[in-house]
Amino acid sequence: MGWEEKEVRGYPEFVQTAQRYHGRPIFALFCGDKDAEGRSWCPDCVTAEPVVRKELHNMPDESVFIYCLVGDRAYWKDPNNEFRKNLKLTGVPTLLKYGTPQKLVEEECFKAELVRMLFTED
């Protein structure tokens, strides 16, 4: 069956999607919003996204990959935003295995071998 991808924007959409796929392995990549040309305001997200996408085939069967846009730069920088408060995110990009402490933050997402390990290890 393989895996499937969902793209969401904002915290409420993320939570709704994660709940919909409860019981399946969920991996999420959180990145800054993109402009009309499809460029994120976050340069690290621009670097990390292709690295993460190249490793998606390593996710376990039945997995769900949620690509989540966290909002504009001003919203992200607010220390009280929902991603920081509820998911304890400290930076973007963040790649995590939902419901576990496993995550890669910022430059860690540039390393294919770390991304692969997150996708393949229990």
93 burial level (CB within 10 Å; 0-12, 13-18, 19+) = buried
31 is catalytic: no
Rounded (5°) CA angle 18-52-66: 15
Return phi, psi of residue 45, to 5°.
-65, -40
42 is catalytic: yes
Which residue is catalytic, options 31, 45, 68, 109?
45
Residues 13, 107: Cα–Cα separation, whole Å: 26
Which residue is catalytic, options 31, 42, 68, 109?
42
Residues involved in catalysis: 42, 45
